[in-house]
Structure 1
Amino acid sequence: MTRLRHRPALDVRVEIRGELPREDAEYARARALDTATALGPDAHALRLRLTRVRDRSVTRSALAQADVELAGVGPVRVQLATRTPQESVDLVLGTLAGRAVRLREQGDIGFAVTYESAYRPQFAFRPLAQRRIARHKAVALARRTPGQATRELLALDRRFQLFVDLATGRDSLVQRGRPGGVVEPCAAGTDALPPLDLAEAARRLWLTGRPFLGHTDPGDGRIRVLYRRYDGHYGLIEPVSGSRIGAGTLVERD
């Protein structure tokens, strides 16, 4: 007698933030389920978050974030924004599926990110006097080679990735360059990550208009990152010892 093996029920979750028409929410759920099915049995979980931004300074107000856990690959994540919810859903899930295929077949996603400038989520305008550190994240940095950290940076669609260099034991950072550019690692305490107090880090971040600023804490000599949130405020990321929280390189963006 031959027994058929059935795949367990797909773990697909869709979160809607803000007011959206019912048909847009139903469309997002249907497309998420279709994508998870198409990714095959090694896709353990798929999450889709669709947010409608109500700030008038943001023209691409439909923000979609999708992530999936793939056996043998790890987490894959994409975050994009367009003018309409259904367009954002299609774009983010299509990009996620494309990345998953390349990671499974080639082990990387390459540096040619053609949508980088056109669909990257926008920062809401907020006067400088009103900005504050709205979120403080503590992370335990995993030990990685620069190559491993770069692979995670790209797979998780982040602008930067923090890690402890496996060879040197120093807090380090890899960041995305321009499309097609090389990602170079930087270590805490070097000229690339100078010691700065938070006031000076915030001043430089404002002056340069960059999305984040990596620097060294002058108190303990460890790396930290001050970054711009999409709501116009700032966020701060600092490392802690592995005994305080679970080890890992997870650095979620707001």
Structure 2
Amino acid sequence: MPDTRDVTRERPAVLGPITEAEAAHTRLVIGGALSTVEHPADRLRLRLSRHGGLEACPPVVVAQVNVTVRARMIRVQAAAPTLVEAVDQAGEALLHRLQRLDRHLTAERTGDVGFTAADWTSPYPQNPVGPVGPPTEQGRIVRMKDCHLAVQSPDSAAFAMDLRDYPFHLFVDDSTGVDALIHRGGPTGYRLHFSATVPAPRNFTVPISIQRWPAVPMPITRAVGLLNIAPERPYLFFTDPRTRRGRVLYRRFDGHLGLLAPIW
């Protein structure tokens, strides 16, 4: 089982198998990133998880940081052989995201609330973290998360995905009213997939390529089977055959699966 410890501003002490030097380095890196931006951050949560250590699964530390700035959630994660390396990578990613959000909030304050092509021309490090647990031949669903989907434009959805370091973001497209998935990929770096056949959106600046066919309706058991026979595929977007709402089945750190579904 992974060893996980949480560090917050209210309780900065670190418990568990971590040295004082590692704890001090973590506070220095994360605190340094937070101190560089104009808008204050709160709800800081840092999770450090140690995984592996067996022959089939080398040791790895996953550092994940969650923080809120003006009701916008920023999430970063990084994996490395040592805690210091993982924290350094997470700190660099956090700094880039904080600075990008800071620029956006400053623009909002001056009355510019939209996005422009320039918002997508300065990429910053992404930190994809693949499965770090032992391999599983048949992944099973170990977490089901029901959530209220945000009604957003493709621009706002892409921005939220970037800030949260997600490989995908499930939302309701504000121009069509249907569930949609924006995810990384395609010739432009962003790809948009709808849960139903709808006219292509027009008012956006993010460089997206639009999937021509809608998500396929299928039962959960079928989705699990498809993902299990395609180990290189990190997630699958499909719809509930009954409600036609969009769902995402995705791979977790431990090699098993999670299901993200909208609340009806």
Residue 170 of structure 1 corresponds to 178
2:235 is the alignment partner of 1:212: yes
CA distance in 1, matches of 2:22, 2:188: 37
Does the CA-based 8 Å contact 1:36-1:46 persist in structure 2? no
Tell me if 1:28 matches 2:26. yes
Deviates more, 1:14-23 or 1:34-43: 14-23
The answer to whether the 8 Å contact 1:12/1:33 transfers is: no
Percent identity, please: 31
Contact between 1:227 and 1:234, CA under 8 Å: does it hold in 2? yes
Any unmatched runs of 5+ in structure 1? 1-9, 242-254
Out of 185, 188, 197, the position equivalent to 2:195 is 188
Contact 2:38-2:102 within 8 A present in 1 as well: no
Aligned to 1:89: 87
Aligned partner of residue 151 in structure 1, secondary structure:
helix
| 1:5 corresponds to | none
Distance 2:179 2:91 in 1: 33
Deviations 1:188-216 (A, max 9, x none): 14534101112221122123321110101
Shift of 1:149: 0.6
Number of the residue aligned with 1:127? 136
Q: Aligned partner of 1:94: which letter?
A: E
CA RMSD of aligned residues (A): 2.8
Aligned length: 226
Matched-pair contact (CA < 8 Å) for 1:159–1:175: yes
1:29-108 equivalences under 5 Å are: 29-54=27-52, 56=54, 57-59=56-58, 61-71=60-70, 74-105=72-103, 108=119
CA deviation string 1:12-45 (max 9, x = no partner): 6669697333432343234333333333452234
Indicate yes or no: 2:150 matched with 1:154.
no
Distance 1:168 1:81, change over 3 A: same
- SS of alignment partner, residue 128 of structure 1: coil
Q: Distance in 2 between matches of 1:95 and 1:142?
A: 24
- In the alignment, what sits opposite 2:222? 200
CA contact (8 A) 2:60 2:81 kept: yes
Any conservation in 1 of the 2:39–2:102 contact (CA below 8 Å)? Answer: no
* Letter paired with 2:185: G
